[in-house]
Structure 1
Amino acid sequence: MEKAASTALPRLGAIAVVLHQDKVLLVQRKNPPDAGLWGFPGGHVEPGETALAAAARELFEETGVQARPVRYLTNLDIILRDQGGALQFHFLLAAVLCDYVRGTPIAAYDVSDAGWIAVSNVPSLPTSADVDRIIALAYSTTPTIGPI
């Protein structure tokens, strides 16, 4: 996601939460604000596009994995300021639960790595804000895929 000017409006984005066989699909970001951190594939919602569709599109663009968006899990307000208090980034991210369809994760576009990570290993990774909470929420709202 690109840097927002202090006069810019908040940007709408969508992240794809894909769980499969006790693993979660995560990507390592190349660009600020989360460069080097692991998080969910995602990006900007295009004009006229739903956040559900954007999550699936961004997932495919960043990883080559296809998934079907199922439902919204939650929204995240990402507001980051520099040391002087000036706004650097402002995003509203819609977290979208997606059902895995096919594909092997390959890092593309604006990610440096992508892969299926065992849910039990996620706490040991440097992650974006709320990754653990969103995984737990996905499991708690989808009883058929089991607990963490």
Structure 2
Amino acid sequence: MSNDTFETIRYTADVVCVRGQHVLLIERGWPPHQGLLALPGGHVDPGEKALDAAARELREETGVRVAATDLTLIGLYGEPGRDPRGRYVSAAYLVEVPEITQALAGDDAAAVRWVPLTDLPEHLAFDHAQILAAARRHLLAAR
């Protein structure tokens, strides 16, 4: 096989951060999907573990600090077309934080908000609605 038959794949990590019955979403500050709500997340840096990238991205985008060891993998998401910039595969994690946890927009986030799990927006960026559905199933099974 020649090199032109291989697709460039980028590796990312997303976080479903739950506080009580609410999930933390960011408003994307720039394209793609500028202005839409999304899960905190981003690229895994060279030499970095996806778990560590998830904790870092959550901190950078929302100010919420969690230990990487507190994150639970809920799935890998890599459907072609999930990101208009090209092929991305994302490791999605779930973490539950105390009710007193505060969030503040930073890095790529124009704003942050705690959204009731029972009243999620109809349209989210990327395939984040699918990731949230898996996280909700995981939470229900654990309770």
8 Å CA contact 1:78, 1:89 repeated in 2: no
Equivalent residue letter for 2:18: L
Deviation at residue 130 of structure 1 after TM alignment: 3.0
CA distance in 2, matches of 1:52, 1:98: 11
Deviation at residue 39 of structure 1 after TM alignment: 0.9
Query: Deviation above 6 Å: which 4+ runs of structure 1?
Result: none
Deviations 1:53-76 (A, max 9, x none): 111110000010122442211122
Which TM-score applies when normalising by structure 1? 0.77
8 Å CA contact 1:14, 1:96 repeated in 2: yes
8 Å CA contact 1:66, 1:103 repeated in 2: no
Cα root mean square deviation, aligned? 2.6
Secondary structure, counterpart of 1:98 in structure 2: strand
Measured at CA, do residues 110 and 144 of structure 1 come closer, stay the same or move farther in structure 2, by a change above 3 Å? same
- Equivalences, count: 134
Secondary structure, counterpart of 2:8 in structure 1: coil
CA distance in 2, matches of 1:11, 1:129: 14
The answer for the alignment partner of 1:76 in structure 2 is 77
The answer for the alignment partner of 2:44 in structure 1 is 45
Q: Which has the higher strand share?
A: 1
The answer for the alignment partner of 1:114 in structure 2 is 112
8 Å CA contact 2:19, 2:101 repeated in 1: no
Percent of counterpart pairs with the same letter?
33
CA distance in 1, matches of 2:10, 2:35: 21
